[in-house]
Amino acid sequence: MARDRKRYAMVIDTRTCVGCSACAIACKTENQVADGHSRVWIRTLTSGWYPALAMTVRSERCNQCTDAPCVRVCPTGASYYGPGGIVLVDPDKCTGCKACIAACPYGARFIDPATHTADKCTLCVHRLENDVPTTACQEICPTESIHVGDLADPSSEVSRLLAERDHYTLEPEAGTRPNLFYLR
């Protein structure tokens, strides 16, 4: 069993993201996400009092954590680390116990009403592992704010962006070591 040296990560520039939801719709149609459910969503955070205001706009999804509580808590091994550390769900093994959903600090998972198993962003692993270098959300984004690549490669775009720009992850105090980075 060869261990992958790749470490896939996603970097999103909040400076240019306008929160249009093209990412969410592209994901829905690429991955046939069930009606009424989304793997990708937009969150806005506004602070201040009129007219001294500031707002952050973020495109969010599963953070593909290095130390994923969902993988840890899964009793059947349905949630596992795939190529490049992407967190994936094998629906054949999933019993729908929902422990992973309760264990995710980001609320990124849900139950797919068609298969009755846990579902979430797969970082378009079917594209990345088939020589298509972009995820569906990355490809469609009109502001080109989404970047995906191999963090283990210092020359990759994601590595370069993280080296050059100030960035953060969501809820680092949850201790999950997310691989979705937001550029300030």
Partner 1 sequence: MKRREFVRIGSTATATALVGGGLTTRWFGLDRAALPQPGTDGDRIVPSFCEICFWKCGILAHVKNGRVTKIRGNPRDPLSQGHLCPRGAAGAGLLYDPDRLKRPMLRRDARGSQVFEEVSWDDALSEVARNFERIKREWGAGALVLFSHGYGGNWMKHLFKAYGSPNIAEPSFAQCRGPREVGFDLTFGSGVFSPEPTDMMNARCIVLIGSHLGENMHNTQVREFAQAIRNGADIITVDPRFSVAASKSRYWLPIKPGTDLALLLAWMNVVIGEGLYDREYLDQYGYGFDQLRAHVAPYTPEWAYPRTGLDPDLIRRTAHVMAGARPATLIHPGRHVTWYGNDAQRSRAIAMLNALLGSWGRKGGFYLPAEMELPPYPYPGYREQGAPAADRPQPSDYPLADELLTQGLCEATIPGLREQPGVKGWMINGSNVLTSIPNPAQTRKAIQELEFLVTVEVLPSESAGWSDVVLPEATYLERCDELLVPAYRQPYVAVRQEVVPPLYDSKPGWWIAKELASRLGLGDFFPWKDGMEYARERVHAAGLDCDVLQRDGVILGQLQPIYFEEGAPAAFGTPSGKIELYSQRLASLGFDPMPTWHDEDVEDPPPGYYRLLFGRAPVHTFGRTANNRLLSDVFPENEVWVNARVAAHWGLKDGERVYLKNQDGVRSTFSAPVKVTERIHPDAVYLVHGFGHTAKGLRVARGRGIDDNELVTRYKVDPLMGGTGMNVNFVTFVREADAR
Partner 2 sequence: MTQEITSTRANPLIDPALSVWHGEVALYLFVGGLVAGLMVITGLWMLRSSEGPRSRALSLLPWAAPVLLSAGMLFLWLDLENRFNVWRFYFAFRISSPMSWGAWILLAIYPASIALAWNMTPGDLQAAALRRLPWGPWLGRLGQCAMNHVRRVAIVNVVLGAALGIYTGVLLGTMAARPLWNSALLGPLFLASGLSTGAAFLLMWRLDEVERRLLGRADMWLILAEIVLIAAWLGDLAVRGAASRDAAWLVLGGPYTTAFWTLVVTLGLLVPLAGEWLEHRHHGVPGRFAATLVLVGGLALRWILVNAGQASGWAADLAAR
Q: Which residues contact partner 2 by CB under 8 A?
A: 21, 24, 36-38, 41-49, 60, 69, 71-78, 91-99, 101-107, 109-111, 113, 115-117, 170-171, 173-176
Please identify, using beta-carbon distances, which residue of 67 and 144 lies nearer to partner 2: 67
Query: Does residue 164 interact with partner 1 by CB under 8 A?
Result: no
Query: Does residue 139 interact with partner 1 by CB under 8 A?
Result: yes
Which residue in the block uniquely carries the two structure tokens 């070591």? 177
Dihedral angle, C-alpha 144, 59, 14, 26, nearest 10 °: 10
The encoded tokens of residue 113 equal 């009403």
For residue 27, give Cα distances in angstroms to 13, 64, 133, 143.
18, 16, 15, 16
Q: How far is the CB of 173 from partner 1 (least distance, A)?
A: 26
**Under a CB-based contact definition with an 8 Å cutoff, are residues 151 and 133 in contact?**
no
How far apart CA 144 and CA 16 sit, in angstroms, is: 8
Query: Does residue 145 interact with partner 1 by CB under 8 A?
Result: yes
Q: How far is the CB of 178 from partner 2 (least distance, A)?
A: 12
Query: Does residue 97 interact with partner 1 by CB under 8 A?
Result: no
111 binds, among partner 2, partner 1, none (CB under 5 to 8 A by kind): partner 2
Contacts with partner 1: how many residues (CB under 8 A)?
Answer: 52
Which residue in the block uniquely carries the two structure tokens 């989404």? 146
DSSP 145-166: -EEEEETT-TTSHHHHHHHHS-
Query: Does residue 43 interact with partner 1 by CB under 8 A?
Result: no
DSSP letter at 85 equals G
The binding site for partner 1 (CB under 8 A) comprises 1, 15-16, 18-22, 24-26, 28-32, 35-36, 38, 41-42, 46, 48-51, 53-57, 76-77, 80, 82-83, 88, 90, 92-93, 122, 125-126, 129, 136, 139-145
